[in-house]
Amino acid sequence: MYKMYLTTEEIKKLSKKSCLKIDNKEILQTKKQLDICLNVMNKISLINTNNIKPLYNISNKTQILQEDSPIKKDFDNKYILKNAPSIDHENKLFLVPTFLSK
């Protein structure tokens, strides 16, 4: 059994504010589902976590980072553009499909 948190009127207000269309048939089902979610959150909030250290990583391992340093390589334009699906040879540019309209 779950505790009831929300009234039917509150569900209607929530649906209106969130721009969701919930018909009268769905209100009771939605109410029940939200009550279950709120009940679970209420149970979780009752857990005593006073002596629990925050967990920063689920594996409890330290992330190994490498130095971010640029690799100095001299590539000429022909080498860079050779794998491009479409290029402007005159201006030596990559061509990409248009995805925005004016």
| Closest-CA residue to 37 (of 16, 7, 10, 6) | 6
Span between the terminal Cα atoms of the chain, in Å = 57
Write down the domain spans for the chain.
8-45
pLDDT computed for residue 40 by the predictor: 92
- pLDDT tens digits for 32-47? 899 899 999 989 989 9
* Average pLDDT of the chain to the nearest whole number: 84
pLDDT above 90 for 89 = no
Closest CA to 34 of 1, 66, 75, 5: 5
Radius of gyration of the chain (CA): 28
| pLDDT at residue 2 in the model | 56
**Is the pLDDT reported for residue 66 higher than 60?**
yes
The Cα 49–Cα 9 span in angstroms is 35
